[in-house]
Structure 1
Amino acid sequence: MKNLKFRSLLLLSKKERAARRIGFDPKTTLVLGENDTGKSSLIKAIYATFGADPAVIHPNWKSLGVVSMVKFDIDGATYRLLRSSSIFALFDGGGTKLWSVSGVTSNLAPQLAEVLGIKLRMQSREGEFVIPPPAYFFSPFYVDQDAGWQRNWSSFASMQQFEQYRPSLALFHAGVRPNEYYAAQAAKIEADRAKAELSKERDALDRAATRLQAGRKVLTFDLKPQGFGDRIEELTRRATVLRAKQDDVKIKLSALHSTRAMLVEQTDIAGASLAELDADFAFLRKSPDAEIACPTCGTLHQNDFTNKFSLIADVDTCRSFLLESRQDLERVDQEIAAEKKRFTSFDEDIIAIEAILNETKGDLRLRDILESESERLVDEAFATERRDIDLAVGERDGEAEAASAVMKSYADRKREKSIKDFFAEKLHRFALHLQVPTLPDSFFKSLYANPPETGSDQPRALLAYYYAFAHTVREFSSALTAPLVIDSPVQQDQDPANAQRIIQFAVDNVPQGMQLVLGSVRLHDATYAGERIELVDKRRLLRTEEYDDVHAELEPLLNGLL
């Protein structure tokens, strides 16, 4: 099991040129503030940095374009996770970038699952088992003030991406189906997928073999190519001579085609130049001016007999070059045609080869011998490929069976009962402590049932549920324990005694080794040991006076995204 703990949270808005730095106590951090002081925005930003957006985000907060960074430890190793819009980047404690991704489900989720040691796979609506988004990693550890006190497992947005997600998450996080179960499940899925691909390959191989065998002659005796040994040697010699001649022609054709391409280009250039020179001469001849200015550079040129004669000479030279190029191109085309004809006219060698192939000894032709031998070699190749595929299928079968055995080992009824009994005992004790004594027995038997209470009893029942489940995670899970982040547990106009009881319960009953970040309007006379963050400015969570310091720390990380 990996244990996640927060060290600090940095928030930065370049739009507002304001920022905030929050440090977290290793055990307990209380965030206190009246309404509209940004308490909930601060708390929501923690897991949102990990790609787990809360169910409700205030539009004013969205408009600030806040960049967030959480510094955290996992089993003693320090990391920094940066979020800028939909881009996420992980850095080690020294600021070296480990990876950066864009998009939560397809890219961030697998990376974070690796870092956090999450093996959970959930079945998508398309039937595939995939790594779910980070919200599913942290669902037991976050209670949002807007949705978390209405129904359990609903504090993050878009939780309906997977049907019936509550049972799957409860079984995973409680340890009924721990990391090892899902690692085995992934191995079985991969083995089954590989088997399906191998079956397709085997079917394609069988179809190809059937087609090749369909038109064969049926020979009932053994063919021995040794009887044609001298003729096979002659066949090989003739074929080698023919191949050498054909290769020689290919080389010449390649050189001729290169020469032709060059001549075509020269002819095109010469033709274009001749047209320009003819146009220039026609212009000089028609112009009455003694001097003509160049339209490009403005230089004056004499329109006299000397210049006209020089232009005529250039036209004649260009025309002669063009004619020579066209003659060379015609010659090369003739040579190409001759070589192509030569390529297909090696009649003597071809006739000799056909004669050797048709030569008979008894009732057999050498052609029959060679065809039969080729077919035998093809059949052997098909058989070898079949054996290899069958062997690979057997290996995948073994992997799938081994994975299934691991999965079945976690279907132990006694183990599941012990986990549920532990949870029920904690839930019963916590519910009594929070003075919610009327919960039905069915609620204690389910790891994911929502309490049926209403009014002021409902948030206390949910608090008892969340803490009972957190203790179950700490006791039985092999996956992840993360900080409990709880926003505004005093809901539904609690009386002073219950308000004090709720806060005191929340700080006193955190599972051993877990971290608590608790947000509340006030302390309600509860006592605790830890960090205290008080927010006093209305609609001013971020501070302009902290901007330079936070910006200096985040700017190198933001540059790392580029």
Structure 2
Amino acid sequence: MNEMYFKSILIADIKEKTARFQKFKKGFNVITSQENHVGKSSMLKSLYYAMGAEIDYDNIWDKNTKVYIVNICINEKNYTIARFQKGYALFEENNLILLTKSASYELPKKYEELFSFAVYLPNKETKKIELAPPVFTFLPYYIDQDKGWSGLYDSFSNLNQYKKNDRIKSLYYHLNIYNRETIELMAKRDRIKEKKEELKEKEEKIRITLQALLEETQNLLPADNLDELERNLQIPKENISILVLELGNLRNKIQTLETTMAQHEHQLEIIQEYKKIKINTEIENKQMILHTCPKCGYMFDEEIYDIVRSNYNVHNETYMCQQIQLIINSISSELEKYKEKYVKSMAELEKQEKIYDESQDSYEVYIRQRGLKDSVNHFNEQLGDNVYQQKQCEKQVKEIDKKLRKLPNKKEIEEKYIEEVRLDIIKLDAWNAAYDGKIKLLNPIKAQGTLENKIILAQVAGLFQTMDALNSSTIRFPFVVDSPRAKEASHTSSKEILKLIFEMNMLPQVILATMDYNDFEEDMKCSAKVTVLTEKKKLLNNKTYETHKKYIEEIFALLKDI
């Protein structure tokens, strides 16, 4: 199994001339005490801090005055990593193989070589895939007393250079779902999709511009030179003359039809009025009967009515009204047709007048026409290229999706993780029906109060158990866990928590800090190297510094001059 574990740590305060040297064994290690403030947390914080992960210490601990030196074993090979402030020295056995102040690239690059493992994430600002700093390599392997029990995978600091959703996806690396090639493919796919959206927006703008240009060119005759333009301009000039003559004829015809229709309407009203006011039916007596025109008030007698009636050669008033109405309808229909022709001719005249404008210089018209033509051609080319690029983007996305489908099945891995976490929560006597359907690898469940520690621990354990069940080939690191019982008043609950931690034998090493471990030691099935701290605020001492003084000062001299 690909693995790494801590063999020892040496912490030395250069200013106070004090130090602490602590050995660890492969497997289970416990740092315990009966009192607080003896340095358990500071020792555990220093392990991954020495390796380049940023961690917040309490105010009493000045990390900038201290040299941190850890001895580690990677697949049976021994290495030493020393840190002072932002400087790092990495030794293979006793040979210096790296001296750097670059924890963002050179150090993780060397770790990638040694661990055969690295995490690559998209930068929040540039969107480019980059090698993530060491903190993301160790992210699930440390639970801090101060921050780790209030949020899953929140124990380290300085994580905000990446988006939260991207940060937690680093877990996929530990499960062997992602590697550098995978994340680069996904980032490439996202960039291609963004490019396609930009192309789509640009396409819309090009089409709007083209439509406006095409509308403008409708009023311009095409010409390849000035002579051709002059000849083409004669066409609208002649058309204008024809249209003006045609409009005059149409206007005269409309006026004639309107006059004729008015006459028929007038005579129809006379007959209709006569029918209403005819009183005396004894026409033989030829008694003079006066009638009044309903429109103009003119008085007319029977003789006038007879004249109107004789015009239509009909004696029956009702039938006469029907015939006159038919004539009026026919004239009205014909009049509408001529009016439509008149409107169309006027529109055509306006169009031809726009084409032919004697006030415009022919050369200016030619230049404008050529410019618009060139612009239309240019934007058509842009549109064609834009559509082609969009199709290429779609093709590239499909190819990437095809490659990504060959990855380990995320669904199966997620199901295994859910199963393991569920069992762990039940073991810790913290199960609640509300958790059904809520357990997700990338969206941790939360709890409050005394259950919070249990729920966080169950999810971390579930991750390691899933890695083990799937035989993940990625490297396993030490699990460093500080004060998992801090919120547990119950002796039984405390024992359940410790038992679950001691079941993590799939890991090369567990380093646990907890109070009063002697109260639970007999219940633990696995043996552990137990270190008991007794003196408050005296984790570092002068005697240890003197013992390792030469080595400490050699390392300090090397690091301070980087």
TM-score, normalised relative to structure 2: 0.58
Alignment partner of 1:107 is 2:96? no
* Alpha-carbon separation, structure 1, partners of 2:157 and 2:534: 28
Question: Are the structure 2 counterparts of residues 158 and 84 from structure 1 closer, same or farther at C-alpha, using a change threshold of 3 Å?
Answer: same
The residue correspondences of 1:73-472 to structure 2 (distance < 5 A) are 73-93=73-93, 95-125=94-124, 126-163=126-163, 164-178=165-179, 181-182=182-183, 406-410=403-407, 415-438=409-432, 440-441=434-435, 445-472=439-466
TM-score, normalised relative to structure 1: 0.58
Residue 114 of structure 1, CA deviation: 2.6
Aligned residue identity for 1:17: K
Secondary structure, aligned partner of 1:492: coil
* Alpha-carbon separation, structure 2, partners of 1:559 and 1:7: 24
The question of whether the paired residues in 1 share the 8 Å contact of 2:5 and 2:74 is answered with: yes
Residue 41 of structure 1, CA deviation: 0.3
Alignment partner of 1:525 is 2:524? no
The question of whether the paired residues in 2 share the 8 Å contact of 1:483 and 1:515 is answered with: yes
Secondary structure, aligned partner of 1:60: coil
Residue 559 of structure 1, CA deviation: 4.1
* Alpha-carbon separation, structure 1, partners of 2:465 and 2:508: 10
| Rg larger in structure | 2
Give me the identity figure in percent. Answer: 21
* Alpha-carbon separation, structure 2, partners of 1:171 and 1:504: 27
Secondary structure, aligned partner of 2:169: helix
Residue 137 of structure 1, CA deviation: 0.6
Residue 530 of structure 1, CA deviation: 1.9
String of CA shifts for 1:419-462, please: whole Å, max 9, x gaps: 11221121111111101110534565411333232111111111
Alignment partner of 1:505 is 2:504? no
* Alpha-carbon separation, structure 1, partners of 2:136 and 2:170: 7
Residue 474 of structure 1, CA deviation: 3.6
Aligned residue identity for 1:428: R
String of CA shifts for 1:478-511, please: whole Å, max 9, x gaps: 332100000000022431111122122212x114
Secondary structure, aligned partner of 1:159: coil
Secondary structure, aligned partner of 1:104: coil
Residue 50 of structure 1, CA deviation: 1.0
Secondary structure, aligned partner of 2:426: helix
RMSD of equivalent CA atoms? 2.8
Residue 103 of structure 1, CA deviation: 3.4
The question of whether the paired residues in 1 share the 8 Å contact of 2:64 and 2:85 is answered with: no
**Structure 2 stretches of 5 or more lacking a match?**
193-395
Specify the alignment match of 1:46 in structure 2.
Answer: 47
Aligned residue pairs total 349
String of CA shifts for 1:152-182, please: whole Å, max 9, x gaps: 0100002222112344122222233246634
Question: Are the structure 2 counterparts of residues 535 and 443 from structure 1 closer, same or farther at C-alpha, using a change threshold of 3 Å?
Answer: farther
Alignment partner of 1:8 is 2:2? no
* Alpha-carbon separation, structure 2, partners of 1:75 and 1:401: 40
The question of whether the paired residues in 2 share the 8 Å contact of 1:159 and 1:165 is answered with: no
Question: Are the structure 2 counterparts of residues 439 and 514 from structure 1 closer, same or farther at C-alpha, using a change threshold of 3 Å?
Answer: farther
Question: Are the structure 2 counterparts of residues 558 and 185 from structure 1 closer, same or farther at C-alpha, using a change threshold of 3 Å?
Answer: farther
String of CA shifts for 1:232-267, please: whole Å, max 9, x gaps: xxxxxxxxxxxxxxxxxxxxxxxxxxxxxxxxxxxx
The question of whether the paired residues in 1 share the 8 Å contact of 2:169 and 2:442 is answered with: no
The question of whether the paired residues in 1 share the 8 Å contact of 2:108 and 2:118 is answered with: no
Mean CA deviation greater in 458-467 or 176-185: 176-185
* Alpha-carbon separation, structure 1, partners of 2:438 and 2:171: 14
From 462, 473, 480, the equivalent of 1:478 is 473
Question: Are the structure 2 counterparts of residues 166 and 64 from structure 1 closer, same or farther at C-alpha, using a change threshold of 3 Å?
Answer: closer
The question of whether the paired residues in 1 share the 8 Å contact of 2:478 and 2:507 is answered with: no
Residue 550 of structure 1, CA deviation: 2.3
Residue 400 of structure 1, CA deviation: 11
Aligned residue identity for 1:5: Y
The question of whether the paired residues in 1 share the 8 Å contact of 2:57 and 2:63 is answered with: no
* Alpha-carbon separation, structure 2, partners of 1:408 and 1:465: 27
Aligned residue identity for 2:17: R
Specify the alignment match of 2:28 in structure 1.
Answer: 28
The question of whether the paired residues in 2 share the 8 Å contact of 1:32 and 1:534 is answered with: yes
